[in-house]
Amino acid sequence: MARMRGFRCGRCGAEILAASQPSSHAERRDWSPPILCCGQPLRSVEPDQVLPVQTSHRRILRCPRCDFQVQLIVHPADSLVCMLCQTEFVATQVNRDRVAAQQD
């Protein structure tokens, strides 16, 4: 599984965690998720700069067309838009910790 990395909007300060996909991009420092926030791409932040939030409290957003998923840390001023299909991300009601517990 790809390593989760933090990204921040330069305009409104929204923060997300995203795994690079495909995983071959995981080591590229200039990679950013295919998401627009406030009309611009998100910029990568160092791991120690990401706000600490318990995993169970993070909302998961996904693109309904291409299924790319991110974890929301700081809410954006406006909606997040997928660069690939120009669709707004939607919040899922599923919590990853609950899904993992149900699979055990």
User: What are 29-69's pLDDT values in tens digits?
Assistant: 678 899 999 999 999 998 777 766 555 567 899 999 999 99
Residues 6+ apart with CB under 8 A from 38: 9, 10, 11, 12, 14, 76, 77, 78
Question: In the chain, which residue ranges form alpha helices assigned H by DSSP?
Answer: 96-103
Q: Yes or no: say if 16 and 72 are a contact pair by the CB < 8 Å rule.
A: yes
Whether pLDDT at 6 is above 50: yes
Mean pLDDT of 73-91: 94
Q: What is the model's pLDDT at position 31?
A: 82
Q: Which of 63, 58, 26 is nearest to 44 (CA)?
A: 26
Q: What is the model's pLDDT at position 21?
A: 60
Structurally, the chain folds into a number of domains equal to 1
Task: Determine the structural domain holding residue 69 and report its residue range.
Answer: 4-103
Whether pLDDT at 96 is above 80: no
Model confidence band, residue 103 (pLDDT cutoffs 50, 70, 90): very low
Gap between the Cα atoms of 96 and 98, Å rounded: 5
**Percent of the residues in the chain that have a pLDDT greater than 90, as a whole number:** 53
CA 1 vs. chain centroid, Å, equals: 15
